[in-house]
Amino acid sequence: MFSILQAAGWPIWPLVACSILALALIIERFINLQTIKVAPPLLLDEVLTVTRLNVPDPDVVAKLEQNSALGEVLAAGLRAFNTNPKCTEDELRASMETTGRQVAHRLERYLSALGTIASVAPLMGLFGTVVGMIEIFGSQPTGVNMGGNPAQLAHGISVALYNTAFGLIVAIPSLIFWRYFRARVDEYLLTLELASEHLARHLYTLRK
């Protein structure tokens, strides 16, 4: 592997750095976008059951907030209801939407960086290809009857091909995972939105 990197020349090293960064971002997103950490399936039903007769005290709301991203959004609605029992349904929604925007920003963290790597890696590979082509043409003699340098010609070709291939190797998985995480975040955000709407209606009915 190291011999391949040596054959690819210095333009390969920025791509190696991008590949390490992309791998780190993918692992981080897999860990932090787990369903149990974002939107546990039974959490909304549990909250609705607990608030069937009255709103829980602040200690229970604080524990709910630490449960997950969904718990954080639902806790914002419960806290607003505890603070002002006469608040309107729109005010409940607004409090949860504010928290929801913060949660959405956290869920989308590093996705732009991963998308940037997916877009830039082929261009970096193309840059390495251009460097290899420059070495190829630079190895050609200027005299009419002089032969070329086969070793330098082969080196230029290897630089061009290795960088092109490595750029695609980095870009394709990065793009696939970026689209996967993007779709997963959108699904989570829809779940949070529907859950907050349900809780707002429930609390408004409870007050009546």
Token reading at 13:
């090293």
CB 72 within 8 A of CB 103: yes
Tally of domains in the chain: 1
Can you give the pLDDT at residue 144?
Answer: 47
Q: What is the mean pLDDT of the chain?
A: 85
Higher-scoring residue by pLDDT: 126, 103 = 103
| 21-56 pLDDT, tens digit each | 999 999 999 999 999 999 999 999 999 888 887 778
Q: Return d(Cα 6, Cα 128) in angstroms, integer.
A: 13
Predicted confidence band at 146 (pLDDT cuts at 50, 70, 90)? very low
Residue 58: closest CA among 35, 28, 81: 81
Residue 120: closest CA among 193, 48, 17, 1: 17
Average pLDDT on 72-88 reads: 86
Buried b (16+ CB within 10 A) or exposed e, 179-208: eebeebbeebbebbbebbeebbebbbeeee
Domain that holds residue 171: 2-207
